[in-house]
Amino acid sequence: PGREWYYQQEAAIRLIDRVPSFLAAMQQRVGKTPTFVVGARRKYENDDIDIVVVVSTRRLLRTAWRDEFDMYWPKAQYTILESDKTRQDFIEREYDVVMTSFESLHKNWPLIRMLHDPSRIMLVADETIKIKSPHSRRTQAMWAACSEARYRYLLSGAPVSRLHADLFPQIFCIDPGLFGLNYGAAERFFFWHTGDGQTRFRRDRKHLFHTIADLAVWRCTRGESEQFKGRETVTINERLPFDPIQLQCYKDLLRNYVAEYLSEDDGGAYYSQATNILVQLGRLREICGGFLSYETEPGKFERIRLPRNPKINWLRQFFEDHESTSAIIFCEYNEEENQIGDLLDELGIKWGGLLKVARERKEGIKSGSSDDQFADHVKDFQAGELQVFVGKHSSIGHGLTLNAADVEIFYSLGFNSDNYDQARMRAVGGDTGCVLVYHLMMGGSIEESKIYKSLSSRQDMKATLLKDLNRRGYEEMFKEMELADLLVEELDGLIVDFLEEEARKVLGYEGPLTEEALEGFANRQGMDIFALVKKTIGASLSLKDAYTRCMRAFHPDRAIGLGYSKDSKMYNLYEQIAKAANHAKAEGMSLGGFVGLIGGKEPDANWQKWYDYLLRKARAADYNTNIVPIDRRIA
């Protein structure tokens, strides 16, 4: 309404008229959603089909797709199949369009094909970059639906030209015969895995792959599109200084990791290789985001906010200086989202997002379903009724139009470059103006040296990291980060001493800060077995990993290797701990339950938190004395 089609949209509509299926690899902001709404409307009005099936993410169905149908096909009767109630309604009423999420397609497709002839169904799937793993339920559901629907059109705004392997499951939806019916064989024929997380073409196979793929893929980049490519963006990297307490936590964790990888006893090297390195780096990111987390029992975590958070302080100052600036704030963790929400409430700023929806509904403020309420937040933000929109990259970074924003603020950065690229595009729609993109990074930290470095060069963080690890090893990478020149806020007084004083006060400990003295103190508190187990567990990333390590470290054969006989007290203790660890892992027990099995005593969480802090500090002091000076002399 009010304008003509851009030529890439007209070309796509003509292609829909002539070709029953293809993958539209149209990059963001070139107008693919309205194009396919009109393409579906034309087929429906020409009596080629009886119904249109739209498959996308839950939130896009209630925002972008619903808005486009209201705009370009206002007479269409549509419904979203999301519950037994809506499915029953779909059975009883006639609809022109039915929408379903990827997650619900396996339930909804059998119902749709039962009520409608598949040869007269047009299926449109949006954000098909989410169809990756051939073993996932969403991928198999898409393959099943596409094997029956007569008209099949897949839409992907991601830069598929550099995600060759990810094209496979999407092209299988269009025509499984193009690459043969064996997914694994086709992948092995064209690609090989380098061992450092990357996938590359086999020699002389790239041209053949693209020749075949071009039979199913129609591409349009922003550079090839007719309309203005969106508002310009200006990137501003804010290097923030660590708060001293935050710095100490960051350093302690790094030194703990280094000590873990330097350990030569109880299979430390093997264990290090088996752990998930990205989880360890995630712990460092959490500290940069202003909080700590630790596992209290399998799958359950406690989170503690640090007393001073430089990123939250930056946001406070920003909104005090820019009272009317409309902004989107992206973050990576739930706790970061909560901290930002608390700040905005404190400042009296109107904001929206999934977290705000959850808080409103908890207070009894409800407007339809939570997805409906979220869609209302998007509309209110676009209308200027909300000043800030908050969410994680994965939840609001795909498909939403939030171009009312003047500023995008990345409170934290994730490891996924595609999520980052998508998130940056949320506010660039429109023909005039400029969007400021702020990256909040702790100076010299993993955020700056590893994550942003990868994202800015459009590389996959995981692949880059694995390549670096294979080249230098875990220990060297952590030592490099530990010795990095970090930007630190200078405050009066020795803030770090405050933590030690607090720990000693809570524990009632007045002895020297050494590992041996602390373990002796714990033993005198009746926690000798617990302390032994904790020492063995070390920096385990989960309790299941910890129990595996205990089983290995306390195998009865190890007691024999240490010179104890089978009828000795130490042999029996090793056997008891190993059996208890095996049972605890199988039953998913908490650490307290495990220690209880072997006759130990677990302190309360607060006591343990401060004991662990002093223990880390003692180990770090020993590490600095014995290792760091040697490395610096070598450097």
SS3 content of the chain, % helix, strand, coil (to 5): 55, 15, 30
Q: Which two tokens stand for residue 309?
A: 């958070």
For 357-375, write each residue's pLDDT tens digit: 999 999 999 888 888 899 8
Local confidence band at 108 (pLDDT 50, 70, 90 cut-offs): very high
Measured distance CA(501)–CA(629) in Å, rounded: 27
Identify the pLDDT of residue 268: 43
Structure tokens, 57:
């993410």
Q: One-letter amino acid identity for 108?
A: N
| Confidence grade of residue 196 (pLDDT, cut at 50, 70, 90) | low
Asked if the model's pLDDT at residue 109 lies above 90, the reply is: yes
CA 530/CA 188 separation, integer angstroms: 49
The pLDDT, as a whole number, for residue 53 is 97
Q: Which pLDDT band, with edges at 50, 70 and 90, does 271 fall under?
A: very low
- 210: three-class secondary structure by DSSP: helix
Q: Phi/psi at 56 (nearest 5 deg)?
A: -160, -170
pLDDT at 541: 55
Higher pLDDT, 560 or 497: 560
Rounded to the nearest 5 degrees, what angle is found at the Cα of 472, between the Cα atoms of 627 and 541?
Answer: 75
d(CA 618, CA 628): 15
**CB 352: neighbour CB atoms within 10 A?**
25
pLDDT higher for 425 or 87?
A: 87
- Pairwise pLDDT comparison (165 vs 322), residue with the higher score: 322
Mean pLDDT, residues 371-391 taken together:
91
pLDDT > 80? residue 492: no
Rounded mean pLDDT, 466-482: 71
φ and ψ of 400, to 5 deg: -75, 140
Evaluate if residue 269 carries a pLDDT over 60. Answer: no
Q: Report the percentage of the chain scoring pLDDT > 70.
A: 79
In three-state form (DSSP H/G/I as H, E/B as E, the rest C), the secondary structure along 477-503 is HHHHHHCCCCCECCCCCCHHHHHHHHH
CA within 13 Å, CB half, 386:
23
Would the pLDDT of 43 be above 60? yes
- Res. 491: pLDDT tops 70: no
Q: Measured between alpha carbons, how far is 123 from 158 in angstroms, rounded to an integer?
A: 20
The beta strands (E) that lie in 309-433 are given as 327-331, 351-352, 388-392, 407-410
Alpha helices by DSSP H, listed for 409-527, are 417-424, 446, 452-456, 461-472, 474-482, 495-507, 515-524
Q: What is the pTM of this model?
A: 0.67
With 60 as the cut, is the pLDDT of residue 193 above it?
Answer: yes
What is the maximum span of the chain, computed from C-alpha positions, in angstroms?
90
Q: For residue 534, what pLDDT is reported?
A: 60
The pLDDT value given to residue 319: 92
Greatest mean pLDDT among 147-161, 408-422, 439-453: 439-453
Mean pLDDT confidence for 112-133: 91
Mean predicted confidence (pLDDT) in 407-426: 84
Q: Burial of 530 by CB count in 10 Å (0-12 exposed, 13-18 middle, 19+ buried)?
A: buried
pLDDT confidence of 454, banded at 50, 70, 90?
confident
Can you say whether the dihedral through the CA atoms of 146, 192, 217, 35 is positive or negative?
positive
- Rounded CA gap, 319 and 327, in Å? 10
Higher pLDDT, 226 or 156: 156
Supply the pLDDT for residue 265: 46
Cα gap 588→547, rounded to integer Å: 10
3-state secondary structure (DSSP) of residue 246:
helix
Which candidate, 241, 333, 245, 344, places its Cα nearest to that of 289?
Answer: 333
Structure tokens at 489: 């806020």
Decide if pLDDT at 261 tops 70.
no
Average pLDDT, the chain: 81
Percent of the chain with pLDDT over 90: 32
